[in-house]
């Protein structure tokens, strides 16, 4: 099967390539290969690639910047998705699209089910929701949250850098979710494809954390592996104490039970996957 991976140089795009099954004839593109804001260019590229399946790991993910650059975010997060869906509709192919917890408003008290009502509170969330709406019933939508990967630009690596520089940090403790290792997400995406899944599914690592919890775990695990010289003091703060242009969901746990049931695997605790990622990070030097 001819598979096109977009966002090839990103965290998930790289993980998808590394975990690809033997049956997948992979082609991978990134912004240097094709400008996703240019629909004619993208459409022409899709004709050349002629994929049976598109795994869309590309996205405009600069959450705060999107507040002042919503048109560009929309072009990538929705316009490009519409173009991919149109191309696949013409050839009988399928789109697998990755979305985000930001399509929800964060006011829930229980994990969001795949069919939960969306109410995005940011430009990023709005444009990702619009991208979801471009999909057909035959396509596959997978939402995730708090994604990180060795070598990528993410919270884990930012924390490690700051922990090397500072004795004390302040991290938000009133936003709740579940960290997600991109490698695990990639494996789930491939498993869902192999099951012929369509519709909406969720994937995050198992468990619950605040950003402060996550930072404390990063410090403990990174210090044990020698990635940082000491464990800094990590002070919990409120969202109000760390204002950002975009509003973050206060609660973004996703109900992944349907995903686990379909592909038949057990959920992996987020701290276990964090440890695996940090071991990879240590190898990178």
Instruction: Return the ∠ at Cα 13 (arms to 133 and 146), rounded to 5°.
Output: 70
- With b for 16 or more beta-carbon neighbours within 10 A and e for fewer, the 116-132 pattern comes to bebebbbbbbbbbbbbb
Annotated catalytic, 124? yes
Long-range contacts of 223-229 (CB under 8 A, 24+ apart): 225/278, 225/279, 225/282, 226/282, 227/160, 227/278, 227/281, 227/282, 228/160, 228/163, 228/164, 229/164
Catalytic residue among 60, 124, 148, 242: 124
What is the 8-class DSSP label of residue 78? I
Of the candidates 93, 91, 119, which has an alpha carbon nearest to the alpha carbon of residue 105? 119
The catalytic site residues sit at 124
């Amino acid at each position: 099967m001819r598979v096109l991976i977009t966002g090839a140089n990103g965290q998930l795009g790289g993980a998808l390539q590394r975990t690809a099954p033997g049956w997948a004839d992979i082609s991978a593109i990134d912004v240097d290969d094709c400008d996703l804001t240019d629909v004619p260019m993208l459409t022409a590229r899709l004709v050349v690639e002629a994929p049976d399946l598109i795994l869309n790991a590309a996205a405009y993910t600069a959450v705060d910047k999107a507040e002042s650059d919503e048109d560009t975010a929309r072009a990538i997060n929705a316009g490009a998705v519409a173009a991919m869906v149109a191309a696949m509709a013409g050839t009988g192919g399928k789109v697998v699209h990755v979305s985000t917890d930001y399509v929800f408003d964060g006011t829930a008290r229980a994990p969001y089910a795949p069919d939960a009502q969306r109410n995005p509170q940011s430009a990023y969330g709005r444009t990702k929701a619009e991208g979801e709406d471009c999909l057909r019933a035959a396509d596959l939508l997978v939402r995730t949250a708090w994604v990180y990967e060795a070598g990528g630009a993410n919270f884990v690596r930012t924390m490690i850098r700051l922990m090397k520089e500072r004795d004390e940090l302040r991290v938000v403790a009133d936003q709740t979710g579940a960290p997600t290792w991109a490698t695990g997400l990639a494996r789930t995406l491939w498993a869902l494809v192999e099951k012929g899944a369509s519709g909406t599914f969720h994937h995050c690592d198992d468990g619950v954390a605040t950003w402060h919890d996550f930072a404390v775990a990063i410090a403990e695990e990174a210090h044990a592996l020698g990635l940082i010289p000491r464990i800094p003091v990590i002070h919990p703060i409120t969202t109000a104490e760390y204002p950002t242009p975009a509003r973050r969901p206060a609660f973004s746990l996703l109900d992944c039970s349907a995903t686990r049931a379909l592909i038949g695997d057990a959920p992996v605790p987020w701290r276990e996957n964090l440890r695996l990622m940090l071991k990879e990070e240590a190898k990178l030097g």
